[in-house]
Chains A and B, each alone.
Chain A
Amino acid sequence: MVAFGQFLEVFISGLLAGVLYSLVALGFVLIFKASGVFNFAQGAMVLLAGLALVRSLDFLVAKGFPLWGAIALGLLFAAVIMAITAWIVERFVLGPLVNQDALTLFMSTIGITFMIEGGAQMMFGADVYPLKLFPTDAWFLFGNVFDGGILVNKLDVWGGLIAAVLVGGLALFFQRTKTGRALRAVADDHAAAQSVGIPLNWIWFVVWLVAGLVALVAATVWGTKLGVQFSITFLALKALPVLIIGGFTSVPGAIVGGLIAGAGEKLAEAYLGPIIGGGIEYWFAYVLALVVLLMRPQGLFGERIIERI
């Protein structure tokens, strides 16, 4: 029973870690689904949102605000920052690049990444800032079934809950609202969407704003876990295999992909790691992604890509 208990513990911690990857991957999916742009800047946006939140929190608490008021104002401030970022991105970068091919748009988001990373740290400082919004202590479950119980981090559970709410809300937004439908039209074809009277600029602003808010949510969870710091931008790289596994265009895919990637890499680290050397969790998700790519190039939940000449 000990071996199975240990397996279960690794498996669950992997699943929960995977949910956190999904939070970042969601931001990618949103922008890709709604504008056909592969947004490399999502990790940098998590950093920006996290820095704006934690720095304004520190400032407000130092000014003597009560904690709940400081959190509310801090979240508001960070949301405003994300809105401004969305506006700038739309106005100065993506607007002029309308109807360019996907590769050009992708590379422009690499440029945006650099600007956000540099700008955010210039404005808010480049140190490591601790963020304490969620409890980070551990639970022991099933203590009577398994020896020593199964260790589960409360923060990861919070992350899972938040992700569930977020996905529900986004699904409603995409399926039920007029803006959501316009977003899907734009993703299909910029020019066609424009010609039926969908205001492209507004749509892109909304998409980047929503992605910015998702980044803010991801930042609250990841910031509590790791502290808000530059290395948080590497989350973007962690979320890429998740996207590949789940498919670029699917919100549920981002969640399932995250679960698979998280559980897979933790299990690999625990059971393969001792055999071929530790640290394989850094690339194991990528290997999973490669395997999925070779079998189903569009990912598990992605739309089949049909090409014509």
Chain B
Amino acid sequence: MLYRETGQFKTSYAADMAIFPIRQDRIAFWILLAVAFIAVPVLDAYQLWPLRGEYLIRAILIPFLILALAAIGLNILTGYCGQLSLGSGAFMAVGAYSAYKFATGVHIPLDILTISIPPLPVLPSILLGGLMSAVVGILFGVPSLRIKGLYLAVATLAAQFFFDWLFIRVPWFTNYTPSGSVTAPELNFFGFYANKPIEKYLVCLIFVTLFALMAKNLTRGNIGRQWMAIRDMDIAAELMGIRPLYAKLSAFAVSSFMIGVAGALWAFIYLGSWEPLAFNIDRSFQLLFMVIIGGLGSILGSFMGAAFILVLPIMLDQVPHALGMPLSVETMSLTVFVVIGALICWLLIVEPHGFARLWSTGKEKLRLWPYPY
């Protein structure tokens, strides 16, 4: 009864094109933002349930936000533009390492001239890291003009293997640390130091909110429609006057920009210090699963998928504990494998569009409730 749009008339074009055309959705969205921006810090300040201690914020909320951002990036490429990518871990690594280089100063001595950039503040470093990732993404997107589908997936895998190698073997990227692991600079945003978990959380939240809004609007606009046309049938799209070069490469650029920023955040904020292993192929698969399970071609689905993939191992750890039959670490990790694999197959069979579609089906049912039609 609550979820009903009777009487909500749209009297302007602006109202017609709103992101959330239904009032209840708008209210829910603002409540969600209020919870994220106000309730969480307040609960943390007073150490109330469920934020007692730092576990929830540090081990769940921060990685959730960052991986959701990366999943949105991948969703733009795979879900909206239909270009399957298995190299998102590499683009995260490119973002992380270039942000690190910008934050600690770039020095390239060439024979004819020496390029030196002084250490930049953290925020420009992260954004420049995303930009570098976008450039690399465009480079590896070029083959997509000739090949598609599974062939392209292999091309993006090439990116994954190449960058894994590059960041391990070329010491310039790690500022010649002997162990190959690097430590992020202090998180100084215009004099505001993000040291406590709640502050880091807020920084991530601001990034994710802005980028999610940006992604939502991009996909609703001209360029987003071009992406979807390319995804649905590229030849037909081309005949309609969409330039595949522009559409595909822009999808690669936007997607890897977001993934790169997410990589920089993952390194700077979540990990603090990291080694190349943090961005190996498992990360790529994890992101792909988030997108598949959450829903291809849905921003909301990216969040749902990220939440699910992150929470599932924790649940599988906690539930047997609560039932009094704790599993060994090894059995647990194998169970996670099997369950994730089974869930992917099951979801592809019953609902190829993921959680996001289940959610909208649910809303559709609610609108008609209690009458089935």
A-to-B contact residues, CB < 8 Å: 38, 92-93, 96-97, 100, 102-104, 106-108, 110-119, 121-122, 126, 237, 240-241, 243-244, 248, 277-280, 282-283, 286-287, 289-290, 293-294, 297, 307, 309
Residue from B146, B161, B233, B331 within 8 A of A294 (CB atoms): B146
Structural contact, A290 and B337, CB atoms closer than 8 A = no
Distance to closest chain B CB from A308 (angstroms):
8
Determine if B84 and A103 form an interchain contact, defined as CB atoms under 8 angstroms apart.
yes
Bound form: Cα–Cα A306–B28 in Å: 48
Chain B residue at smallest Cβ distance from A240: B154
B242-300 contacts to A (CB < 8 Å): 281, 285, 288-289, 292
Query: B239: which A residues are within 8 A, CB to CB?
Result: 309
Given A119-B338, A286-B162, list of 7 further CB < 8 A pairs?
A108-B348, A111-B343, A118-B337, A118-B341, A277-B169, A286-B154, A293-B155
Q: Are the CB atoms of A237 and B157 closer together than 8 Å? A: yes
The answer to whether A114 touches B344, judged by C-beta atoms less than 8 angstroms apart, is yes
Which residues of B sit under 8 angstroms from A297, Cβ to Cβ?
Answer: 146-147, 151
Which residues of the other chain, B, contact A112 by a CB distance below 8 angstroms?
A: 341, 345
Instruction: Give the CA-CA distance A80 to B200 in the complex, in Å.
Output: 53
Number of A-B residue pairs with CB-CB distance less than 8 Å in the complex they form: 126
The complex places the Cα of A98 from the Cα of B84 at a distance, in Å, of 21
B159-206 residues with Cβ-Cβ distance < 8 A to A are 161-162, 164-165, 168-170
B146, B150, B343 pick with most chain A CB within 10 angstroms: B150
Interface flag for B50 (CB, 8 Å): no
Inter-subunit contact A104/B352 (CB<8 Å): yes
B53 on interface, CB distance cutoff 8 Å: no
In the bound assembly, the distance between CA atoms of A280 and B288 in angstroms comes to 26
Q: List 12 A-B contacts (CB under 8 A).
A: A103-B84, A110-B285, A111-B340, A115-B338, A122-B335, A126-B330, A126-B334, A240-B154, A282-B164, A286-B154, A289-B154, A289-B158
B330 near A115 with CB under 8 A, answer no
The 3 closest A-B pairs by CB, nearest first: A114-B341, A118-B337, A111-B344
A108 to B349, CA, bound (A): 9
Point out the residues of chain B lying under 8 angstroms from A111, CB to CB: 340-345, 348
A92 to B161, alpha carbons, bound, how many Å? 33
Partner of B236, one of A97, A108, A113, A309: A309
Q: With the chains together, A173 CA to B143 CA distance in Å?
A: 35
Interface size class on chain B is 35 or more
Which B residues between 295 and 336 are near A, CB-CB below 8 angstroms?
330-331, 334-336
Alpha-carbon gap, A59 to B285, bound state (A): 35
CA A113 to CA B158, docked complex, whole Å: 20
Q: Does any Cβ of A come within 8 Å of B149's Cβ?
A: yes
Across the two chains, which residue of chain B brings its CB closest to A299? B151
Residues of B within 8 A of A104 (CB): 348, 352
B235 adjacent to chain A (CB < 8 Å): yes
Tell me the bound Cα distance from A117 to B340 in angstroms. Answer: 11
CA A106 to CA B235, docked complex, whole Å? 22
Interface of B is mostly: helix
Q: In the complex, how many angstroms separate the beta carbon of A87 from the nearest chain B beta carbon? A: 15
Which of A107, A277, A283, A307 makes the CB contact (< 8 A) with B161? Answer: A283
> Is A107 a contact partner of B344 (Cβ separation < 8 A)?
yes
B288: chain A residues at CB < 8 Å are 107, 110
Which residues on A sit within 8 Å (CB–CB) of B335? Answer: 118, 122
Given the interface pairs A108-B348, A294-B146, the reply to whether A283 lies near B158 with Cβ below 8 Å is yes
Partner of B165, one of A113, A244, A279, A289: A279
Instruction: Report whether B162 and A283 are in contact in the complex, using a CB–CB cutoff of 8 Å.
Output: yes
A112 to B342, CA, bound (A): 7
Most buried by B among A106, A108, A289: A108
Q: Say which residue of A122, A241, A279 sits within 8 Å of B331 (CB atoms).
A: A122
Given A277-B170, A283-B162, A244–B349 Cβ distance below 8 Å?
no
Q: When the two chains form their complex, are residues A290 and B165 in contact, meaning their CB atoms are under 8 A apart?
A: no
Assess the B334–A280 pair: CB atoms within 8 A.
no
Question: How far does the alpha carbon of A296 sit from the alpha carbon of B257 in the complex, in Å?
Answer: 30
Instruction: Choose among B161, B331, B344, B345 the residue that contacts A282 (Cβ–Cβ < 8 A).
Output: B161
Residue in chain A with minimal CB distance to B337: A118
Q: Is the CB of B165 within 8 A of A282?
A: yes
Cα(A283)–Cα(B166), bound, Å: 10
| CA–CA, A182 and B287, complex, Å | 37
Tell me if B334 and A113 are in contact (CB < 8 A).
no
Within 8 A of A (CB), among B131-147: 143, 146-147
- A242 CA to B38 CA in the complex, in Å? 54
Docked CA distance A106–B146 (Å): 20
For B161, the chain A residues whose CB sits under 8 A away are 237, 282-283, 286
In the complex, what's the smallest C-beta–C-beta distance from A156 to chain B, in angstroms? 23
| Chain B, residue nearest A122 (CB) | B334
Chain B residues within 8 Å of A113, by CB: 341
Chain B nearest CB from A90 CB (Å) reads 12
Which B71-116 residues have C-beta < 8 A from chain A? 82, 84
CB A86 to nearest CB in B, in angstroms, measures 15
Nearest CB in chain A: distance from B252 CB, A: 15
Q: In the complex, what's the smallest C-beta–C-beta distance from A262 to chain B, in angstroms?
A: 16
B345–chain A nearest beta-carbon distance, Å: 4
How far is it, in angstroms, between the C-alpha of A83 and the C-alpha of B149 when the chains are bound? 29
Interface centre among A103, A241, A307, A309 (most CB of B within 10 A): A103
Q: Are B281 and A290 in contact (CB under 8 A)?
A: no
Instruction: Out of A117, A244, A280, name the residue touching B154 (CB < 8 Å).
Output: A244
Q: Which residue of A lies closest to B169 (CB)?
A: A277
Closest CB of chain B to A99's CB: distance in Å?
Answer: 12
